[in-house]
Structure 1
Amino acid sequence: MKPRALMFTLFGEYIQHYGNEVWIGSLIQMMSHFGISESSIRGAALRMVQQEFFEVRKIGNNSYYSLTPKGKRTMTDGFIRVYSLKNYKWDGYWRILTYSVPEEKRELRNQIRKELSLMGFGLISHGTWASPNPVEQQVMELIRDYHLDPYVILFTSSSIVSHSHEQLIKRGWDFAQIAKEYDRFIDTYQRIYEEFQRRAWNNELSDRECFIERTKLVHEYRSFFFMDPSFPHDLLPDNWSGTKARELFFNVHQLLAVPAIRYFETLFESAPDRELQLNREKAINPFIGMI
């Protein structure tokens, strides 16, 4: 696990429900369970501040980190897609974004590509991205956050004259490869789920193990949203394996939820001057309200 990606997983899965601010010492304890050193964690946290994903407060000798609005948007966009249960019908519109970023702003161009991929956009031709999902608000926030007004244009279209919808989809997304990744996930976690069920029935699962396994589960499942655009159901292939993978993810997640939260609470420490608002029910079941 890369430190930055794991930080987003921990904030999305746990910390956002406990005031969205955490002592760096708590973060170090949590991430040490996944083989990440203290120096790597502190370095990653500093870079997250420099990149305006984190903000930091000093109280005495202690540092407390929270997500900036930019960081919250990045985290929330991914987790909404992880926990959304709504299998909606396509509204018939393509969201199309074109951009032209100067060569001297290459890093900005690369960041735009990453953000668009995370939103489910596909590259259909040079500098042109498309999505059938209603992501206008997220794109406008992206434009504001990165000051992209001079470089991008976003518009919608209900028809593509030169190509069919199927041809456009083949240009921008490789659903056969995505299905293979979902099948691999299903093969792995079906065995794990059956084993965890047996061990839970025999009271053989510790809170610590549940915290580690639930975090790994979410971290791995989140990776699909760098490749799966979360299309409306009527644009998906028949017998889409992503549907079975989602059901399996939910089953494993809920099996581990309560003991995982118990263990997280033994590691978590908020700022002493902050009144802690717990949303434990939402932390245990993030699917609540995600329809």
Structure 2
Amino acid sequence: MATSPDPEQPSARLGRLARGLKLGANSLLVTLYGDVVAPRPQAVWLGSLIRLAAPFGINDRLVRTATFRLTADDWLSATRIGRRSYYGLSEAGLQRVLHAGKRIYAGEAQEWDGRWTMVMVRGDVRATVRQKLKRELLWEGFGAIAPGVMAHPNADLGSLREIIGAARAQEYVAVMEASSLEAFPIQPLQALMHQTFKLGDVADAWQALLKRFSPLAQEAAQLPPADAYFVRTLLVHEYRRVLLRDPNLPEALLPQDWPGRTAREMCSAMYGSLLAASEDYLQRTVEVAEGKLADAGKVLRRRFAHG
């Protein structure tokens, strides 16, 4: 006798969507905390995290190890209530996912004024500070154009100030503005950006994302809750993975056929289509320290400029 499919698990057909992907427990939990928890900063029960990770082939042992590591790395903070452990974003973890979220869920990019933000780091800064600063700036979309020099064409100065402060690098960092001179051609700058940001590899990654998810775009709004949660999480996970390698360069510095434009449009439309059903699944599945997952509909609908 055939068994009925579990309505709380994704269908076998959609489960194949993850085929070939390397889904690590740490990175998947960062995706879940950025996409699900950050809009309503709550501490999630470990049992719920285990349940949310299971459809992606990540078992309870891996989830427990990942939460321990993320707590040690100051992404998460642990709370004990009775015999249960709950994990929320730490102050530093919340800052990181909010910074990344500004890029991941952004709408149309603002028109570029031709200016660059340059960050120059003194050579005598401690190695641990240098490494932390570089890592955070790379996540923010800066490119290393020379040793100790990083640049961004559309930097968020508030986020940059927070990053420098969190690294305690105020005394070691100079921030300046730069712009191209009209007397010189732009082609060398375009070539430099292509080289600095490895745009060929980023374009290939965008094409792979489009190939994987675009066949589902038309049916996304009709998926049942468990399938909608699975596709939404996998979509954001892969989109985040590629986007955080993409410097989001202005149109003037991009090839005409840049696939990142099409990928952003597809992800925006699919995220909006998946939102209601996936939130229904999360409300039924996730237990937090306060008991029930808070409603974050208004915040979520504003993502990708949907609201």
Q: TM-score, normalised by structure 1?
A: 0.85
State the secondary structure of the residue aligned to 2:88: strand
The offset of 1:230, in angstroms, is 1.1
State the secondary structure of the residue aligned to 1:78: helix
Deviation string 1:252-280 (CA, Å, 9 cap, x unpaired) is 222322211111111111214x7864222
* Residues 1:6 and 2:16 aligned together: no
Return the alpha-carbon distance in structure 1 between the equivalents of residues 267 and 94 of structure 2.
Answer: 23
Return the alpha-carbon distance in structure 2 between the equivalents of residues 141 and 167 of structure 1.
Answer: 31
Q: Is the 8 A contact 1:206 1:259 kept in 2?
A: yes
Return the alpha-carbon distance in structure 1 between the equivalents of residues 63 and 301 of structure 2.
Answer: 26
State the secondary structure of the residue aligned to 1:97: strand
Q: Is the 8 A contact 1:54 1:66 kept in 2?
A: yes
Provide the residue aligned with 1:283 in structure 2.
300
Q: Is the 8 A contact 2:107 2:305 kept in 1?
A: no
Return the alpha-carbon distance in structure 1 between the equivalents of residues 100 and 225 of structure 2.
Answer: 26
Return the alpha-carbon distance in structure 2 between the equivalents of residues 288 and 129 of structure 1.
Answer: 29
The offset of 1:32, in angstroms, is 1.8
The offset of 1:246, in angstroms, is 0.9
Structure 1, unmatched stretches of 5+, are none
The offset of 1:285, in angstroms, is 5.7
CA-based RMSD:
2.7
Return the alpha-carbon distance in structure 2 between the equivalents of residues 275 and 258 of structure 1.
Answer: 17
Deviation string 1:209-231 (CA, Å, 9 cap, x unpaired) is 22111100110000122311112
Percent identity, please.
26
Greater CA deviation, 108-117 or 132-141? Answer: 108-117
Return the alpha-carbon distance in structure 2 between the equivalents of residues 275 and 3 of structure 1.
Answer: 24
State the secondary structure of the residue aligned to 1:14: helix
Q: 2:196 aligns with which of 158, 172, 185?
A: 172
Q: How does 1:15-26 map to 2 (within 5 A)?
A: 15-26=37-48
* Residues 1:247 and 2:269 aligned together: no
State the secondary structure of the residue aligned to 1:270: coil
Provide the residue aligned with 2:216 in structure 1.
192
Aligned residues: 282
Q: Is the 8 A contact 1:11 1:20 kept in 2?
A: no
Q: Which amino acid aligns with 1:7?
A: L
Provide the residue aligned with 2:174 in structure 1.
153
Return the alpha-carbon distance in structure 1 between the equivalents of residues 235 and 59 of structure 2.
Answer: 21
Provide the residue aligned with 2:138 in structure 1.
117
Q: Is the 8 A contact 2:117 2:153 kept in 1?
A: yes
Structure 2, unmatched stretches of 5+, are 1-22
Provide the residue aligned with 2:164 in structure 1.
143
Return the alpha-carbon distance in structure 1 between the equivalents of residues 100 and 129 of structure 2.
Answer: 20
